[in-house]
Structure formats: C-alpha cells, structure tokens
C-alpha cells in the first residue's frame, strides 16, 4: 500500500494573529509561510510523487502551489473531507479568549466528546479524514502500485487525528501529537498495519523514496520503514 505524506500548510496570517482560523475565508499564508511553501519542492526532491490532494482552503492551495509549479505533471485534487475542522462559533476567535471557555478543557482532555457549537464533532472530523485517506490509498495503489508515494496537504488537527488512527490511539490522546506549520508527517500503509515514518518533519525527505525491487527486505524481515509489512525487530537499519 502507498506511503502518505501529510503536509501541514505553511504558517498563516491566523497563526501569527493567534486566531483559530477554522474555515474562515481569506486566511492565507504570511510571508514566512510563503517561504515555507517555496522550500517544499526541494524537501521532496527525489521522491516520485504519484498524486497530490489538498484541503479546499486557500492556505493549503498556496502551500502546494510551488510544488505543482515544479512538477507540472502532478495534478492536485481538492478533497472536502480533509478540510479544517468546522469549529462553528469558535471560528476566527482569539485563542487567548477561547482558553477561558469551559469547552476548552474538554477539547484538551476528552476531545472525542467535543461538539463545537454550530460546528462539527472532533470524532466526525477524524472519521471523514481517515475515510479520505483509506479511499486515496486504494486509488493511488490501483493506479500507481503499492510502492507509490503521494502528498496530502491539510491542517493540524486533521493530521493529528490521522496519526492517532494510524497508531491505534484513542482520539482522546491525540493532543499529545504535535505538528508544526509546513511539517511533513509520513505514514506507510501496509495490509497488516500502518507505520509512522516521520512526525512533524521539517527537513529533507528523500530517504522515503521507494526502494528498487532487489533492495527490498526479505519476507518477514521488515525494515525501519515498514516495507514488507513486518516491523523490524531491533529497530532496523
């Protein structure tokens, strides 16, 4: 099954203003976020990308724009299911103000029970995002083979919820995961289990490129990247 590169969008104007952007219109990358987006193609250099998927929000479109320009053969598909969480009445409010809301303690410690006023539940966010990942895994594998690598540009809480699913963690533990703007989180999916290869990586990712067939691990041996579907006993090389 394919390897998924979850890219969090670059730093946005809402990030620097301390706002919970959600799906508010007009939120775009700030100057630093634009520089992060411009650096993404070099970080992914050496990786044969089979597909690119993004949230419909502007900051994700801007983040993938330099990559699409560098690789004109790479079509970018919008998928509503990986959009930001719908925070409802919390959208575009200052995080400092929201910290005093009683619901914030629940968001921090029991997110699986959270329903944002006028918005969606955090369980619903995770369900739609994981469903999108499973669908894209099947589509990419069918079209490009099990060693394919593809990119999905989305949002912090969405990425954290997908990581929690991949690790078999309850959603109530997902706040223990941290992913910075413009970071890349890599998950290799196999028929037996997902492998978390990178979490919030801000460096170069060429080592995630598919191996040549004769370099694959022996059946049952596994490796540090989860190739073959087995875990590497001792951690792998």
Q: Is residue 231, in this structure, part of any structural domain at all?
A: no
Given a cut of 50, whether residue 231 has pLDDT beyond it is no
Q: Is residue 76, in this structure, part of any structural domain at all?
A: yes
Q: What is the pLDDT of residue 235?
A: 47
Q: Is residue 222, in this structure, part of any structural domain at all?
A: no
CB 185 within 8 A of CB 176: no
The phi, psi pair for 158, rounded to 5°, reads -65, -45
Q: Is residue 27, in this structure, part of any structural domain at all?
A: yes
153: domain range?
3-212
Domain at 45, CATH number:
3.40.50.1240
Domain count, the chain: 1
Q: Is residue 219, in this structure, part of any structural domain at all?
A: no
Average pLDDT, the chain: 90
Q: Is residue 234, in this structure, part of any structural domain at all?
A: no
Q: Is residue 223, in this structure, part of any structural domain at all?
A: no
> pTM value?
0.88
Q: Is residue 221, in this structure, part of any structural domain at all?
A: no
pLDDT in tens, 167-214: 999 999 999 999 999 999 999 999 889 999 999 998 887 777 776 655
């Amino acid at each position: 099954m394919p390897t998924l590169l979850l890219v969090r969008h670059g730093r946005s104007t809402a990030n620097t203003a301390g706002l919970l952007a959600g799906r508010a219109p007009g939120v775009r990358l700030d100057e630093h976020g634009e520089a992060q987006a411009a650096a993404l193609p070099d970080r992914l250099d050496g990786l044969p990308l089979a597909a690119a998927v993004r949230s419909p929000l502007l900051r994700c479109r801007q983040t993938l724009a330099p990559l699409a320009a560098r690789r004109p053969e790479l079509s970018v598909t919008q998928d509503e299911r990986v959009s930001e969480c719908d925070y409802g009445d919390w959208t575009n409010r200052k995080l400092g103000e929201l910290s005093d809301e009683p619901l914030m303690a629940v968001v921090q410690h029991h997110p699986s029970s959270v329903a944002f006023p006028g918005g969606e539940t955090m369980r619903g966010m995770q369900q739609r995002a994981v469903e999108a990942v499973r669908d894209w895994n099947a589509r990419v594998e069918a079209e490009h083979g099990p060693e394919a690598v593809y990119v999905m540009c989305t949002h912090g809480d969405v990425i954290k919820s997908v990581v929690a699913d991949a690790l078999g963690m309850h959603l109530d533990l997902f706040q223990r995961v941290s992913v910075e703007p413009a970071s890349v989180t890599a998950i290799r999916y196999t028929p037996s289990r997902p492998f978390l290869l990178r979490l919030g990586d801000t460096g170069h990712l060429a080592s995630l490129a598919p191996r040549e067939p004769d370099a694959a691990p022996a059946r049952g041996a596994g490796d540090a990247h989860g190739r073959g579907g087995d875990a590497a006993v001792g951690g792998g090389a």
